[in-house]
Amino acid sequence: MVSEAILKPSFFSRKKCLYLYAYISQFYYTYQQVMPDNVEDRERLLMIKNQIESRGIRDEKLISVLYKVPRHLFVPIPYKDLAYTDQALPSYSGQTISQPYIVAKMTQLLSLDKNKKVLEIGTGTGYQTAILAELAKEVFTMEIVPELYQIAKSNPFMRQYTNIHFILGNGYKGYETAAPFDAIIVTAAPPTLPQILVEQLAKGGKMVIPVGSLFQMLYLMEKDVKNKTTQTEIFPVVFVPMKR
């Protein structure tokens, strides 16, 4: 049965049409003001809203940095269209680029500011490195795979950072030359926690690291002013194994 209201000419009166037009126009105007014209910028904004903020990460400095650093510039060309999707992506030399949320969460756990010196184990293509460089005073980033070391170091986007030190070397040994570090972030999973990294963590420092083989757990390790360390389980993760 057809509704009688639909048959009446007054159902869509001129006044109601004007109201509807005004509402749609305002919605479109607001959308145009909020959403960037550039496709990658728009996808990055949606990534932040749907993957990062929706999961409880709302630190303004971190959110601003996640928007500033274009993830698609660190992703291999075959996967650029997937740069802002909610997943880890294949990288070079059998490695991966972490899921955006994991990058954000691990960074958040470090509580960085412009007075802190960071050691990153596993440069990869440099996306996490750029995030760290925006938030910390100084970043020492180590990569054991020569191809990845060269790719990250030669990325044109990285030229703006004068506070990144690229090191080709074994992350299991840390980087004693610049130790101790206020923060350490490890982006590959060792089967057990490397004690030398704990030793290179400064008093009051924080380290975030995935640990495990078949089953991996992300840990936050904190060292107090008396050199006592505590470990907190964050959540299960899947990272590539840490190379020696």
Beta bridge pairs of residue 89:
97
Q: How far, rounded to the nearest angstrom, does the alpha carbon of residue 225 sit from its chain's CA centroid?
A: 29
Distance CA 63, CA 77 (A): 25
Question: Which of the residues 3, 98, 111, 154 is marked catalytic?
Answer: 98
What SS3 state is found at 148? helix
- Bond into 180 cis (ω within 30): yes
Q: Please, what sign has the CA dihedral across residues 53, 56, 58, 61?
A: negative
Distance CA 103, CA 122 (A): 13
Task: Tell me if 106 sits within 8 A of 112, measured CB to CB.
Answer: no
Distance CA 20, CA 240 (A): 53
Best CA proximity match to 65, nearest among 5, 139, 8: 139
- Answer yes or no: 213 catalytic: no
Q: Please, what sign has the CA dihedral across residues 67, 69, 72, 76?
A: negative
Task: Tell me if 202 sits within 8 A of 182, measured CB to CB.
Answer: yes
Distance CA 244, CA 129 (A): 20
Distance CA 165, CA 119 (A): 10
Pull the structure tokens for residue 28: 């479109």
Catalytic positions, written as ranges: 98
